[in-house]
Amino acid sequence: MGIFYSKKVTKKDYIMLELKLQRDKLYRYQKNMENLALYTKEAVKKSLVQGDKQKALYLLKQKKNYQELFTRACAHIETVENLISTIEFALIEEDVIYILKQSSCLLKDIQKEMSFESVLKLMDQTKENLIYQNDIDHILSGDLEHKNEDYSKEFEELQLYIFPHAPNKKIQDEVKTVEEDKQNDKNRKELSYALLT
């Protein structure tokens, strides 16, 4: 699955891998020298306790040798670490430069497509299209106004046909007459009830 989606391993990747492996070996070597120096120090103490002065001097020389190797390993580790960080930074710079080149090419292509003349031509076409659309809207709205007048005349004629006599009285007058009719009906009922009894 990772084969299809991962990027190819380049020579730069192999070099970085080798440098990091060497750094790891130097770390292990440094740790071994440190352990040997501690072990030798303990052996010197035992030799002095046992009274073997020659062996103690020999072990002290070995301890000194291990300490020198330890400091050399530290210096090599520092050099390799600096080299790794420099290479990694250079690779990042290379990627940035590549992206800048691609961006520059893309910008040039866009500028070719959108030249000043083509933008002016596009603006003129847009203006012409707007004028044309406004003319069409004006023509259509003129016809609609004409048709609206015809429709309003026909509507008035239909209203006169359906409602030939519109009431001239006010609504309040009609309400009063309805109330008077109700009162008259009530009075008649009371009168007829009184007559029946």
CATH of the domain at 46: 1.10.287
Q: Give pLDDT, residue 111.
A: 80
Instruction: With a cut of 60, say whether residue 166 has pLDDT above it.
Output: no
Domain of 52, in residue numbers: 2-98
CB within 8 Å of 19: residues ≥ 6 apart: 80, 83, 84, 87
- For residue 186, being part of any structural domain is answered with no
Instruction: With a cut of 80, say whether residue 182 has pLDDT above it.
Output: no
- For residue 137, being part of any structural domain is answered with no
- For residue 129, being part of any structural domain is answered with no
Q: At what angle do helices 11-50 and 53-113 cross, to 10 degrees?
A: 160
Q: Are 60 and 44 contacting, i.e. CB atoms less than 8 angstroms apart?
A: yes
Selected residue with higher pLDDT from 197 and 108 = 108
- For residue 150, being part of any structural domain is answered with no
Instruction: With a cut of 80, say whether residue 155 has pLDDT above it.
Output: no
Instruction: With a cut of 60, say whether residue 2 has pLDDT above it.
Output: no
Q: Are 70 and 34 contacting, i.e. CB atoms less than 8 angstroms apart?
A: yes
- For residue 50, being part of any structural domain is answered with yes
- For residue 118, being part of any structural domain is answered with no
Number of independent structural domains in the chain: 1
Q: Give pLDDT, residue 171.
A: 56
Q: Are 22 and 79 contacting, i.e. CB atoms less than 8 angstroms apart?
A: no
pLDDT digits (tens, 9 = 90+) for 46-103: 988 998 889 889 988 998 988 898 899 899 999 999 999 999 999 899 999 999 999 9
Mean per-residue pLDDT over the chain, rounded: 81
What proportion of the chain, given as a percentage, has pLDDT over 90? 19
What proportion of the chain, given as a percentage, has pLDDT over 70? 79
CA neighbor of 16 nearest in space, from 90, 74, 99, 95: 90
Task: State the pTM of this model.
Answer: 0.48
